[in-house]
Structure 1
C-alpha cells in the first residue's frame, strides 16, 4: 500500500515554481539576455506578503541575472554599480 505524501510546504512549492519558470522560459535574463539563475517578483513580496498567492504565480515572476537583480534591489543587495552596468551593457549589445 503506498504511503500518502505529505502536503507540499510553502518553501518547497516556491522552489518548484521557480524551477518550472526557469525551465519554461530558459535561463537567460529577461532584461539583458545574459545567462540567469534568479527569479524576480514583479509585484514585490514586501508589498504582497509572503502568504500571498502572487508569491507563487509565474506571471508575477521574471527570469533575471544577478547584475540586473541587484539593480532591481539597490538598497537591499548593495551592488557594485560599475560591474552591474558593465554586465548589462555587454548583454544589451549581444
Structure 2
C-alpha cells in the first residue's frame, strides 16, 4: 500500500505498518470456518474501524468506535444497533 495515498479506499488510515495490512488481519478472521458468513462480514467491518481509530483525518476516534460497535451488534443479533 502506498502510505502517501489518502483516499477512502486505500487511505493511510488503513496502513497498520509495521504490523500487517488491515486486509490481511480481516481476511484471517473472516475466513475462520466456525463464524457464520453474515457475522464474519460484520466482524470484518468492525475490525476495519477499530484498527483505524484515531487515524482518519476529519473524524474523531469516537466515530470509528461507534461504527465498530454497530457492526459487532449486527454480527451478534443480525440487526443494526443504530439507524444507518
Scaled by the length of structure 1, the TM-score of the pair is 0.31
Larger Rg: 1
Richer in strand (by share): 1
Scaled by the length of structure 2, the TM-score of the pair is 0.33
